[in-house]
Amino acid sequence: MAKIHNSIVDLIGNTPLLELSRYAEKHNLPARLIGKVEYFNPVGSIKDRIAWAIIDDAERKGELKPGQLIVDITSGNTGIALAAIAAARGYRAKFYLGDNTSPDKERIIRAFGADVVSVPNSLFLDPSALEQLFARAESENPGSFIANQLGNPVNPQKHYETTGPEIWADTDGQVDFLVGGVGTGGTVSGAGKYLKERNPDLKVIVIEPGESSLPSEDNVYPHEIDGVHKVDGIEAELLPDNYDIAIADEIVPVEADAGYATARELARTEGLLIGSSAGAIVNAATIIAARPENAGKTVVAVLPDTGERYLSVGVFDDPEA
């Protein structure tokens, strides 16, 4: 029978694992380094998974009505995924984005017919910024459905049900490290929980931006690892609700420029065009894979999105050119 799908949501998940063999050989890595290439999702990122999970859950509960407005705060990828699925299912969408968000991401969100509200990046220097933004979103959009990717529990649950099992199945259970970042915390928390239940010795490695890659009063717009947040030393109440602080076995800081350089290197050694967070995740995974005690082990790095969303912000510009 012909395999013809009825909706883009039917295409979400079952993304491939790719061994980064040429890159690993170049760096003389004693461990296997494997990327989970999430840009194979239909709208181009790992956030397709949670966007559909959130909408599907709300529909099942009767919280979403035909034509209703979906609202959220996003650094881009979840907004893109929500906008696309909203369009496919007849909803309207509106998103609040920091004004440091890649212009490519904003254009894609608008292409799906969603509205965008730009928010100054300086706002996020205030620890209560997200609370303020959610209050603003609710007051400005009465009767809307707030997706709340940061706190909606179906986010990590979706990764527990799909991302983790996919990694386990595709490695035949031979996985020793999972490396990822914390945007909402859903990926490492959900997939990490699943994998640790199957292999209690598995280690979850969480990356975070280095100090010079974080906004400050002196530099509100540094080079950033898009959508990845600092977690070490942050008070629990200021972390995303979907991040399980007990899941991380090690936290590795990565500067944005190092992540950018790794993304450029992967483009030129593996033909793999990935985003800034994916570059930073592979940078940290390289550190783990290079340790002599990890020889022969398998390191899986989650590659959240495509590098096509960062062409206008200099990720792939040669700094020596």
| CA atoms within 13 A of residue 39's CA, in its CB half-sphere | 15
Give bridge partners of residue 254 from the DSSP assignment.
209
Torsion of CA 210, 213, 167, 2, to 10 degrees: -170
Specify whether 47 is catalytic: yes
The 3 state secondary structure assigned to the chain is CCCCCCCHHHHCCCCCEEECHHHHHHCCCCCEEEEEEHHHCCCCECHHHHHHHHHHHHHHHCCCCCCCEEEEEECCHHHHHHHHHHHHHCCEEEEEEECCCCHHHHHHHHHCCCEEEEECHHHHHCCCHHHHHHHHHHHHCCCCEECCCCCCCHHHHHHHHHHHHHHHHHCCCCCCEEEEECCCCHHHHHHHHHHHHHCCCCEEEEEEECHHHCCCCCCCCCCCCCCCCCCCCCCHHHCCCCCCCCCCCEEEEECHHHHHHHHHHHHHHCCCCECHHHHHHHHHHHHHHHCHHHCCCEEEEEECEEHHHHHHHCCCCCCCC
Active-site residue flag, 312: no
Q: Which candidate in 45, 102, 144, 277 is catalytic?
A: 277
Identify the active-site residue in 36, 45, 47, 144: 47
Side chain identity, residue 241: D
Distance of CA 172 to the CA centre of its chain: 24
Q: Which residues are catalytic?
A: 47, 277
